[in-house]
Structure 1
Amino acid sequence: MDLDIVKQRMQKILEMLRSDLATVRTGRAAPSLIEGIVINAYGGTQKLRLMELATIAASDPQTLVITPFDQSIIGEIQKGIQEANVGLSPVIDGELVRITIPHLSEERRQELIHLMRQKLENGKIMVRQVRHEAMAEIKKQKAQKIISEDEVSRLEKEVQKVTDEMITDIDLVGEKKEEELLSI
């Protein structure tokens, strides 16, 4: 039973959760809100993520500025963002696309918090599944007499400790994101 593999799997879940939560809109302009949007570029011949087609920057807390690498696709970028249904309205401004991030209503904030909590709970379930698989492997090795009773006890405690740490980390990520959502 390799604890490093268990830790790595749980860490990947945490990182996936962090990147997933980065796309939840907080009312502040952040490039992560739109960088993954897929754009049908060059007449629909290529599907590329926005971050592959342009630089994305927050010019102020409420505005994202998109600067396409190729000016000929500026209209396709605008259309792709509109079609992504992310609640944003891109406006072409010369060689740039500007997006003003609207303030979130209290109702929308509560919806986003609910969505975020669901994602956090799914992350915790995935961590617990990794723990369950690790515990099953420990029991299997015990049954095959690969490891001793003392080793079983030590490994189970270690797996539980790592699980508890990851659950705590997930809770902290959630608390931080909830603070962002509630701050106006």
Structure 2
Amino acid sequence: MTEEIQFYLSEAEESMQKALQHTSSELTKIRAGKASPAMIEHLRVDYYGNPTPISQVANVAAPDARTLLIKPWEKNMLGEINKAIKNSDLGLNPQQEADAVRLNIPALTEERRRDLVKQVKGETENGKISIRNIRKDVNDSLKKLQKEGTAEDAVRDAEGKVQKLTDAYIVKIDELLAKKEAEIMTI
């Protein structure tokens, strides 16, 4: 197998791994009834005129399964954190305390659980699409190599390996889906 083919195969695996990691990180943002600091890590607060992630201005902890506690490192950030949470799409009502903001996470209704499962399925489908696009790009590159004179058998073998990689990463995404769906539907 030529170096070029090996390069495309390793690039494909690396890209598919990144797509899997991205899908996994997107799924952690979807709440499953339990409080998790990952739920609010995408929120940005106004820190002296700059939009800054909450994790860079405060300590976020989950003291129990239904509560998030956000302790800013500077007291003047309490109001900004409060405002960022209220303006977000989380639908949570922050409670400001003397030196922290407390978020109580309500239990999920059956209907809300079904909506979250649909959202999870959408995210995992996006992950599968990106993996299939990677396969398509690599196969196109391999076809170009064949036109440039690489042996047809070597290209066909490489395409088979790309397909095996694709299948393996789609199975991993399906496992993420099953795990997250079970997590959401568990009361």
| TM-score > 0.5 by shorter chain | yes
Q: Does 1:7 align with 2:13?
A: yes
Q: How does 1:31-50 map to 2 (within 5 A)?
A: 31-42=37-48, 45-50=49-54
CA distance, structure 1, for counterparts of residue 32 and residue 127 of structure 2: 20
Partner of 2:182: 179
Using the TM superposition, give the Cα deviation of residue 85 of structure 1 relative to its aligned residue in structure 2, in angstroms.
2.4
Alpha-carbon contact 1:37-1:81 (below 8 Å) kept: yes
Q: Which of 161, 166, 172 lines up with 2:164 in the alignment?
A: 161
Q: How does 1:27-176 map to 2 (within 5 A)?
A: 27-42=33-48, 45-145=49-149, 147-176=150-179
CA distance, structure 1, for counterparts of residue 73 and residue 173 of structure 2: 37
Partner of 1:17: 23
- Letter in structure 1 aligned against 2:115: E
CA distance, structure 1, for counterparts of residue 152 and residue 51 of structure 2: 55
Using the TM superposition, give the Cα deviation of residue 52 of structure 1 relative to its aligned residue in structure 2, in angstroms.
0.9
Deviations 1:97-139 (A, max 9, x none): 1111001111111111111111111111110011011111111
Using the TM superposition, give the Cα deviation of residue 41 of structure 1 relative to its aligned residue in structure 2, in angstroms.
3.0
How many equivalent pairs are there? 181
- Letter in structure 2 aligned against 1:157: G
Aligned-pair identity (%): 36
Using the TM superposition, give the Cα deviation of residue 165 of structure 1 relative to its aligned residue in structure 2, in angstroms.
0.6
TM-score (norm 2): 0.94
Contiguous gaps of at least 5 residues in structure 2? none
Runs of 4+ with >4 A deviation: none
- Letter in structure 2 aligned against 1:21: L
Q: CA RMSD in A?
A: 1.0
Stretch of structure 1 that moved more, 78-87 or 25-34:
78-87
Using the TM superposition, give the Cα deviation of residue 60 of structure 1 relative to its aligned residue in structure 2, in angstroms.
0.3
Alpha-carbon contact 1:66-1:97 (below 8 Å) kept: yes
- Letter in structure 2 aligned against 1:132: K
TM-score (norm 1): 0.95
